[in-house]
Amino acid sequence: MSGNSSNSVIQAQKLVDQLRVEACMERIKISLTAGDLVRFCQDHRRSDPLLTGIAASSNPFKDKKTCVLL
């Protein structure tokens, strides 16, 4: 029984430590950061592979060989 109890205490301590870290973080209102985020996305849209796609010659995920079934 003491094993479960000590595990619970350890987990609770980890949670408290994480909450303390998060409480110390500087918070910025989304109304202030949304404009920066939109501007960043617009400035980098030409180099975003999700928007422009990846050239077949430089795509590391493209199959090297085709599969042939006989």
Top pLDDT among 26 and 55 is at 26
Tens digit of each residue's pLDDT (9 = 90 or more) over 3-50: 788 899 999 999 999 999 999 999 999 988 999 999 999 999 998 888
Instruction: Compute the distance between CA of residue 51 and CA of residue 23 in angstroms, rounded to an integer.
Output: 36
- The pTM assigned to this predicted structure is 0.45
Q: What is the pLDDT of residue 62?
A: 76
Q: Which structure tokens are listed for 57? A: 């010659």
Q: What is the pLDDT of residue 4?
A: 81
Instruction: Compute the distance between CA of residue 45 and CA of residue 24 in angstroms, rounded to an integer.
Output: 33
Confidence band (pLDDT; 50, 70, 90) for 2?
low
Instruction: Compute the distance between CA of residue 29 and CA of residue 68 in angstroms, rounded to an integer.
Output: 55
